[in-house]
Amino acid sequence: MLGHSHALSGLAAGAATLPCAPVHGPVAQMSWVAAAGGFAMLPDLDHRGSTVSDMWGPVTDVPSGIVGTLTGGHRWGTHDAVLAPLALGGLAVLAADTYWSSLLLMALAIGLALHALHFVIPGTTETTIVGNIALSWAGAWWLLDHSPQPTWLPWAVALGVLTHIAGDSLTTAGIPLPVLWLLRRKRLALSPLRTGTVVEKAVLVPLFLVATVAFLWINTDVRNAFDPIVDRFLSAG
């Protein structure tokens, strides 16, 4: 799938899982959804030239090359539905208990989401290296400064990674057969959908967007802010 499809599906998954997410309060809920959306881009760190690799220049491009080499290339280890969530979520466990490492993870998630969703954001600041760094780190600082230590980050990483893998499993390129690909490289594709087709752009993307808004409306208090407006509108009608 395209980058914005992954990010939107991650946001939708984050919003849908809010009732069982280990977060409390509007800021923490916002952080959870944003993190799920950003981390839904993370598996593509396995190849240079991807949105993840290009986002912060050498800071993300060099690790991308290393990850790709260690995981067997594009759409192998980082797209394993069993190993990838465990490995990436496990790394997040090491970072979730300290402020600066949590700040880095949240900035990475926000930066990825901003970069992937640039097509609905006015201007181009979020797609430049300096602009993306400034926006993502400022956003991460604000979120962490107004909510408890995000010990839930490993769960958000795992959720985002699994959402990405589920999306790619629907494309013709498929995903590796979990764990067994280590013995014999074999892929699993669940549908004939091709990346970047009209179906993805005109059907799946709007569906993910509507799902995100709907689940945010259902699972957060945002509807309380609009209820008086809706009531006045209905009364006037």
**What pLDDT is attached to residue 229?**
56
Which of 208, 162, 211, 153 lies closest to 32, judged by CA? Answer: 153
Torsion angle of alpha carbons 171, 116, 8, 113, nearest 10°?
A: 130
Residue 118 carries which side chain, given as an amino acid letter? H
**What pLDDT is attached to residue 197?**
86
pTM score: 0.91
Which of 11, 10, 75, 26 lies closest to 220, judged by CA? Answer: 26
Rounded Cα distance between 97 and 91, Å, is 12
Characterize 48-74 residue by residue with b for buried, 16 or more Cβ atoms within 10 angstroms of its Cβ, and e for exposed: bebbbbbbbeeebbeebeebbeebbeb
Half-sphere exposure of 84 (CA within 13 A, CB side): 35
In a structure prediction context, what are the per-residue pLDDT tens digits for the chain, which is 237 residues long?
Answer: 788 899 999 999 999 999 999 998 899 999 999 999 999 999 999 988 888 898 999 999 999 999 999 999 989 999 999 999 999 999 999 888 899 999 999 999 999 999 888 877 878 888 899 999 999 999 999 999 988 889 999 999 999 999 999 999 999 989 999 999 999 999 998 888 888 888 888 999 999 999 999 999 999 987 666 556 555 656 665
